[in-house]
Amino acid sequence: MTEAHLPRQRAARPSPEPYALLTHRHDRRMLPLGKEITIGRGAGAGIRIAHEPADEHVSRLTASLRTLPDCVMVQNRSSSKPLVLRPLVGAERLLEPGAATTSMPFTEFFVVVTGRFGREYRVHVDVRDLTPQTPRPVIDPLETVDGVPIDLSGPQRHLLAALCEPLLTRTGARAAPATYREIGARVGRSPSYARNVLRRLREQLAAQGVAALVAYNLEKVYEDFRPALARWAINSGTITLADIQDLGAHP
């Protein structure tokens, strides 16, 4: 069972001090830059979850969140229970006991703790007021994170967009790279056509020195390269939501 509570609308920024806004049910907290807050069932937690009624499957101290200049550091403080960082859109991140991660590149996300019978306790985190509202640099969509200029053909871009579409439009377990069958159906081609074009694109990128894909020409020849190719496409800005929207014009 999942809690149905949604975060309230953001209030107007009361001060120039940067902060993150945390919301759990009716509890809302401002966490200024450089500060830390804990989440858990115990009475000493800054944000208490799973205590009314008590859900003993949830740790007394579950997580801690610390605000950094451009994101939030999330650490799993439980000794035995995992937790999840779940963005509004995109793949969720599983944090094993003791593990930590930053919230980048997400400006809004949920820290999700699972209790008894699969019940989820969610803390919504909004970091949009943590950094000044300054324009971000525009990323050239044809430039990789390695600085290698990549000139994609129309079919390559459409197939790459179809590969990345679930990662840019879904959340949770459904946010995974599309299969070749799904890619082919999305662009009106066969699965084998999609596989061959993306394989040649992967080889082209590896030959031009894209680090994330070079290994697939060496020790990972027989491994599935779709996740690495999709991550490169999204992280480099090569594929964006605009490309997904453009797929509608190319069935």
Q: What is the pLDDT of residues 133-176, one digit of tens each?
A: 544 433 333 333 444 557 889 999 999 999 999 988 887 778 88
Model-wide pTM > 0.95: no
Looking at residue 208, its pLDDT comes to 79
Per-residue pLDDT, 187: 94
Q: How far apart are alpha carbons 83 and 46 in whole angstroms?
A: 17
pLDDT of residue 49: 96
- Number of Cβ within a 10 Å radius of residue 248: 7
> In the prediction, which pLDDT does 132 show?
58
For the stretch 221-230, pLDDT in tens is 557 889 888 8
Among 107, 133, 124, CA closest to 47:
124
For the chain, what percent of residues have pLDDT higher than 90? 48
Whether the pLDDT of residue 113 is over 50: the answer is yes
pLDDT at 149: 54
Q: Residues 1-57: pLDDT tens digits?
A: 444 444 544 544 455 689 999 999 889 999 999 999 999 999 999 999 999 999 999
The architecture in CATH of the region 19-126 reads Sandwich (2.60)
Mean pLDDT of 103-126: 92
Check pLDDT > 80 for residue 251: no
Residues 162 and 186: beta-carbon distance below 8 Å:
yes
d(CA 31, CA 240): 31
Helices 154-169 and 180-187, axial angle in degrees (round to 10): 120
Q: What backbone phi and psi angles, to 5 degrees, belong to 214?
A: -60, -40
pLDDT the model gives residue 51:
93
pLDDT of amino acid 236: 78
Q: What is the DSSP string of 74-130?
A: EEE--SS--EEEEESSB--EEE-TT-EEE-TT-SEEEEEEE-GGG-EEEEEEE-TTT
Number of Cβ within 10 Å of residue 214's Cβ equals 15
What tens digit of pLDDT does each residue of 164-218 get?
999 888 877 788 899 999 999 999 999 999 999 999 998 888 887 776 666 655 4
Percent share of the chain, pLDDT over 70: 80
pLDDT higher than threshold 60 for residue 78: yes
The torsion angles phi and psi of 231, rounded to 5 degrees, stand at -60, -45
CA atoms of 13 and 21, how far apart (whole Å) = 10
Here the tokens at position 38 are: 């804990």
CA distance linking residue 211 with residue 47, whole number of Å = 41
Crossing angle between the packed helical segments 191-207 and 226-235, to the nearest 10 degrees: 60
Domain ranges of the chain: 19-126, 154-249
Question: 106 pLDDT band (50/70/90 cuts)?
Answer: confident
**pLDDT for the residue 5:** 45
pLDDT of the residue at 30: 93
Burial (0-12, 13-18, 19+ Cβ within 10 Å), 41 = buried
- Reported confidence tier of residue 90, pLDDT bands at 50, 70, 90: confident
